Structure 1
Amino acid sequence: MPSIERAEPPYLQVVRHIREQIQSGALKDGDLIPSAREISRTWGVASATAVKVLATLRSEGLTHAVSGVGTVVQTRGALHHSARDRTIATRRTGKIYPPGHYAKIRSAALTPAPSLVADALGIEEGAPVIRRQRTTYTSDDTPVSTSVSWFDGALAASAPLLLSTDRIVQGTAKYVEEQTGRLAVATYVQHAASSARNEEAQELEISEGSPVLASRNRFVDGEGAVLEYGESAALPDHWVFYEYDNEGVE
């Protein structure tokens, strides 16, 4: 049973809960969102608060009102499923990707670490690293993002599936945890507007130099070591959601 706990406006807590259900795929396009009356009863909030929840979700482009039906999910595929979103999806649904999305592993091999990758993983440049490349598609086989994950080559012995082009159903982070006992406790993300490089353009079926959303992700264990470093490129006009607390910020 959901409940209001954090010291932020209650409507934002409810919005986050429903938004994360949409991002994880627990709620998909066409699904009905709880009515204002249901939100008010379930969360124990005022009717005006529940109405504000629905208005906020509409303003974020996640839902729309259907006369005689209610409020339904309608993202039109305009969400970028970040590393954080995939973590939430795995925890809530047991699946990495939302309904209608799937991934193909393009390559998986040992290769010498480029400088940036070596710095991220805390190893020497040129040392062996595992490079896994994947591209994510919608149900109509349209590519929406492509990414490369890098791991210390020392993991090849204990986590051999990282070198296979078969999908790792539970996700690479969970697989590494199962094989080594090392848990990713935090993820650090960078985003930037960028231009598609040759390989990215080919995977996304766009022209080289086209605008993309570039991301870098570091999955860090409890000792502060980077378990996985990732780089990705996604199509434009796909929204990423973040929230942060301004308390104490001057």
Structure 2
Amino acid sequence: MALPKYDQIAGDIRGRIVRGELKAGDTLPSERELTERWSVARATVVRALDVLRQEGLIETRQGTGSIVRERALLARTAGERYRTAVQTGQVYTAGEYAEIVGAEMLPAPEEVATALGIAVGDQVARRHRVTFEGEVPTATSWSWFTAEVAGAAPRLLQRERVREGTTRYVEMETGRRPHTGRDWWTARLATEEELELLRLEGPAAVSEARHVAYDAEGRPLAYEVGISPGGRWTRTDEYAMND
């Protein structure tokens, strides 16, 4: 089923912001331009812009129109990061970068083994990174891969940035294209390690996102847990509630 037009418009603009094509302070096309470009009523464009305002991506100023917010708070899913990597060759947008603080093989704990479809204690590759905007840490994440995937993609075990993103890199090295993703979100208090990594004063709330990427045969490619400071981002979902 095709998305509603307002959602298509919002998604197009959101994608351009995520990829860095529209930067902080850039002015969006006018409502009239968007109405003509998408062949829709003005009310549809207004609704699309409302969605982006609710997500904290844009703001509207009298006499200027809608502009991309300074340090827009992006809640990017793993799928959005993967699409950015495919389209631009880099997983991070302008102003973002990651420090790799760990890359090693270790026995899989139960949670990781379940996600990757392997036995508890099997060897897995784990990468740990902290993502920054300028000097500010915005997230920390851990990614796990089976020994089979790590053997085919040796850069996973190097403490160096994979600029095209680990999921895209794994696809390029193994030929296994991500087909389906499954994400879970929750909110909780930060651990002592997370407080230190994200430079937070405790107690502090964080959001936790867990992600599994599957190939076309339904085999897990990667498992990731990402942690972001609570209040740094918002995400809006709209969906049908009728049968």
TM-score by length of 2: 0.91
Partner residue of 1:96 out of 76, 81, 91? 91
Cα–Cα, structure 1 residues 219 and 39, in superposed 2: closer, same or farther, change >3 Å?
Answer: same
Q: Report sequence identity in percent.
A: 37
1:170 aligns with 2:164: yes
* Separation of aligned partners in 1, 2:196 and 2:148: 31
Confirm whether residue 143 of structure 1 aligns to residue 134 of structure 2: no
Matched, 1:199 2:183: no
For 1:83, the equivalent position in structure 2 comes to 78
Q: Greater shift after overlay, 46-55 or 63-72?
A: 46-55
5+ residue gaps, structure 1, are none
Q: Deviations over 1:115-146 (max 9, x none)?
A: 1111111111111110100000011x110100
Instruction: Find the aligned partners of 1:102 and 1:193 in 2 and give their Cα distance.
Output: 24
Give me the whole-angstrom Cα distance separating, in 2, the residues matched to 1:37 and 1:184: 38
Cα distance in 1 for partners of 2:102, 2:3 equals 46
Q: 1:242 to 1:226 in 2, by over 3 A?
A: farther
Matched, 1:161 2:151: no
> Structure 2: how far apart are the matches of 1:148 and 1:15?
30
Taking the aligned partners of 1:25 and 1:69, their CA distance within structure 2 comes to: 21
What is the number of residues matched between the two proteins? 243
Q: Which residue of 2 aligns with 1:71?
A: 66
- Residue 157 of structure 1: how far off its partner (Å): 2.2
Range that drifts further, 30-39 or 75-84:
75-84
How far apart in 2 are the matches of 1:53 and 1:177? 33
* Other-structure match for 1:18: 13
SS of the aligned residue for 1:157 comes to helix
| Aligned residue identity for 2:117 | G
Of 178, 199, 212, which residue of structure 1 is paired with 2:206? 212
Q: CA deviation at 1:33?
A: 0.6
Instruction: Determine the C-alpha separation between the residues in 2 that align with 1:151 and 1:241.
Output: 28
- How far 1:244 sits from its partner (Å)? 5.4
Choose which of 100, 107, 125 in structure 1 pairs with 2:102.
107
Q: Which amino acid aligns with 1:14?
A: I
Stretch of structure 1 that moved more, 24-33 or 227-236: 24-33
Asked if the contact 1:77–1:238 (Cα under 8 Å) also holds between the matched residues in 2, the reply is no
Which residue pairs with 1:6 in the alignment? 2
SS in 2 for 1:194: strand
The change in CA–CA distance for 1:15 and 1:157 in structure 2 (over 3 A counts) is: closer
Q: 1:93 to 1:26 in 2, by over 3 A?
A: farther
Counterpart position of 2:28: 33
Match of residue 217 from structure 2 = 223
Q: Quote how far apart the aligned CAs of 1:166 are.
A: 0.9
Q: Rate the CA distance shift 1:211–1:65 in 2: closer, same or farther, 3 A.
A: same
Tell me the CA shift for residue 198 of structure 1. 2.6
Structure 2 unaligned spans of 5+: none
Q: Residue in 2 aligned with 1:50? A: 45
Secondary structure of 2:119 counterpart: coil
CA contact (8 A) 2:98 2:131 kept: yes
Instruction: Describe the SS at the equivalent of 2:180.
Output: strand
Residues 33-65 of structure 1: CA deviation (Å, up to 9, x unaligned): 110111012111123333343344334432122
**Shift of residue 208 of structure 1?**
5.2
Alpha-carbon distance change, 14 to 127 in structure 1, aligned in 2, over 3 angstroms: same
1:206, 1:245 → 2: CA distance? 34
How far did 1:214 drift?
0.8
CA distance in 1: counterparts of 2:108 and 2:165, whole angstroms:
22
Q: Distance in 2 between matches of 1:12 and 1:197?
A: 36
